[in-house]
Amino acid sequence: MKIYQNISKTNNKKIKILGLTCYQKVKTAGFISKYYLLGLYKIKFNKFIKKHYLFGIQVRVERLIDPKIQYLTDTIVNRTVRKMFNINKRLITASVLHSKAFAPFKGAFRGKSIVLVGAGPSLKDFKKIPDAIYVGCNRVFLKDDIDFDFLFSIDKAGIDKWYEQFFSYKPEECIKFIGDQNLGEKFQIPENKIPLKNVYRYITDAGLCVPNDFDLDIASVPLKNAATITVQAMQFILYTQPARIYIVGVDCTVSQKKYFVGEAFDSASRNEDPAHLDNVNIRCWKQIKTFADTYYPDTQIISVNPVRLEGLFTDIYTKGDTYVTQDGEIFDVDLENKSSICCG
């Protein structure tokens, strides 16, 4: 009798020791079966499932995954985990930053007028509204007949030629908010350009899986991102709950490549379609109207010399040194308020 035998046939392999079958491998339709210890222990498997038997009784079942599918699954899971980690990190960062930047201004300007100033060409026709708080965007601070109380910027294209002038503008009196879109070097205002005094960072929902709707509590969540900084400035203004909001120089005409001052940035270099940006901005402003009508119905929103926003809010137009409605009636911009800024 042979002590060791290795017998191989088609779809069958046996190993015998002293005539006893210690191992056997059998291939059948769709499965491979392996027998150990005289058949007391058996494994039956294919690429999807593995079954374990002891004394002929099934004791365990394993679901198997094809290596390619496993690799793909692991890749998707890892990417999702990283994505969720980064999202949570941005949400936490927004809550920390915004509690410092925005929380002090909740309801701070009730009963007052605020003028939101964008850099569109129509700004040149604006006549200053007395006793109002002025919130400007990007390089509108160059309009020297307006004293701005707040300035917003987020995209380097808006102020990259005026960094020093922007941040040195009324450093003690004017509070500046600088956004972070998390969209890379082409968009980011460098951290080393930002002074430490009277300047606050804020976070937008750019890059999040599901963009935010407009939110009541901007002190704890990211601001809604858009193709115009005026959308974020408007979120802040509504949060302060003024009686009136005047919208000036928000023309939503990126495609015309014209501004109150300075040249338009080269949108093609960032693979951006100006006409699409115009439509995105108008859609955001329509969402703002719905949000404001719902949560701030007592705040009157007025478009001054509107272009693409015409008909969305109350419209008024410059006529000499006054403003008139579409019907030609004089619009009284005087509102009994005090322009002193309180921080809650």
Write out pLDDT tens, residues 20-60.
Answer: 888 999 998 889 999 998 889 999 998 888 999 999 999 99
pLDDT score of 142 more than 80: yes
**Residue 258: what pLDDT?**
59
**∠219-222-227 over CA atoms, to 5°?**
130
Strand partners for 6: 15
Categorize the per-residue pLDDT at 113 as very low, low, confident or very high, splitting at 50, 70 and 90: very high
pLDDT, average across residues 294-312:
95
pLDDT score of 338 more than 50: no
The first and second tokens of residue 32, run together, are 């491979």
pLDDT score of 98 more than 50: yes
Sequence-ordered list of residues with C-beta below 8 angstroms from that of 302, at least 6 positions apart, any chain: 244, 245, 246, 247, 313, 314, 315, 316, 331
The SS3 assignment for 151 reads: strand
**Residue 266: what pLDDT?**
45
Spatial separation of the C-alpha atoms in residues 314 and 310, rounded to whole Å: 8
CB 202 within 8 Å of CB 97: yes
Domain 78-331 part of CATH 3.90.1480: yes
Whether the model pTM is above 0.85: no
Spatial separation of the C-alpha atoms in residues 248 and 340, rounded to whole Å: 21
**Residue 67: what pLDDT?**
74
**Residue 1: what pLDDT?**
66
Amino acid, res. 223: L
Nearest of 53, 12, 16, 57 to residue 32 by alpha carbon: 12
Q: Supply φ then ψ for residue 96, to 5 degrees.
A: -70, -50
pLDDT in tens, 248-280: 999 887 655 555 565 544 444 445 576 777 788
Categorize the per-residue pLDDT at 335 as very low, low, confident or very high, splitting at 50, 70 and 90: low
Q: Supply φ then ψ for residue 65, to 5 degrees.
A: -120, 135
CA dist 251 → 149, 246, 267, 309, 333 (Å): 22, 13, 17, 7, 21
Considering Cα of 240, then 242, then 248, then 250, what sign does the dihedral take?
Answer: positive
CA dist 143 → 125, 131, 182 (Å): 12, 18, 29
Spatial separation of the C-alpha atoms in residues 324 and 333, rounded to whole Å: 10
CB 141 within 8 Å of CB 167: no
Nearest of 118, 95, 149, 102 to residue 247 by alpha carbon: 118
Sequence-ordered list of residues with C-beta below 8 angstroms from that of 278, at least 6 positions apart, any chain: 252, 253, 254, 255, 308
Q: Which of 238-242, 320-324, 331-335 has the highest mean pLDDT?
A: 238-242
Q: Which residue has the higher pLDDT, 247 or 2?
A: 247
Instruction: Report the 10 Å Cβ neighbour count for 130.
Output: 10
Spatial separation of the C-alpha atoms in residues 267 and 250, rounded to whole Å: 18
Worst-scoring range by mean pLDDT, 102-106, 140-144, 293-297? 140-144
pLDDT in tens, 176-210: 999 987 776 777 787 877 887 899 999 998 877 66
Categorize the per-residue pLDDT at 337 as very low, low, confident or very high, splitting at 50, 70 and 90: very low
**Residue 38: what pLDDT?**
84
- Number of residues written out for the chain: 344
pLDDT above 90 coverage of the chain, percent: 51
CB 140 within 8 Å of CB 260: yes
pLDDT, average across residues 286-307:
96
Mean pLDDT of the chain: 86
pLDDT, average across residues 316-330:
91
**Residue 194: what pLDDT?**
82
Spatial separation of the C-alpha atoms in residues 60 and 57, rounded to whole Å: 9
Q: Which of 1-10, 64-73, 172-181, 271-280 has the highest mean pLDDT?
A: 172-181
Longest distance between any two alpha carbons in the chain, whole Å: 119
CA dist 202 → 1, 98, 172 (Å): 85, 6, 20
pLDDT score of 342 more than 80: no
pLDDT above 70 coverage of the chain, percent: 89
**Residue 341: what pLDDT?**
44
271's torsion region: left (phi>0), alpha (psi -120 to 50) or beta? left
**Residue 52: what pLDDT?**
94
